[in-house]
Amino acid sequence: MPSEERLQSIQRWLMVIALLLSIQTVYSVMNSDGHYSNQLVLFLAGVGLVAIVSLIVSFTDRL
C-alpha cells in the first residue's frame, strides 16, 4: 500500500498534467475560429484555477 507522501506526489503530478491540458486547450480555443463554446473555456479555466489553488495549498502544507 502506497504511503501518504507517495499519494500526495501522485496527486500533485495529476494536477500539473490537468493544469497543462487546460492551459493548452484554452490556448487552442483562443487561436481557433471560435467554434468552441465560451462555457467550455470558462469550465477549463475554472479547472485550471482549482488546480493552481490546490497546488499552492499542497506546497505550503509541506513548508
Check residue 56 and report its DSSP letter: H
Overall number of domains in the chain: 1
DSSP notation for 1-53: ---HHHHHHHHHHHHHHHHHHHHHHHHHHHHS-S-S-HHHHHHHHHHHHHHHH
Claim: this prediction has a pTM higher than 0.75: no
Determine the pLDDT at residue 59. Answer: 78
Query: Sorting pLDDT into bands at 50, 70 and 90, what band is 63?
Result: low
Between 9 and 63, where is the model more confident? 9
Determine the pLDDT at residue 50. Answer: 84
Residue 47 structural domain: 4-62
Return the half-sphere exposure (C-beta side, CA atoms, 13 A cut-off) of residue 22: 19
10-57: pLDDT as tens digits: 888 888 888 788 777 777 776 666 555 667 777 877 887 888 888 788
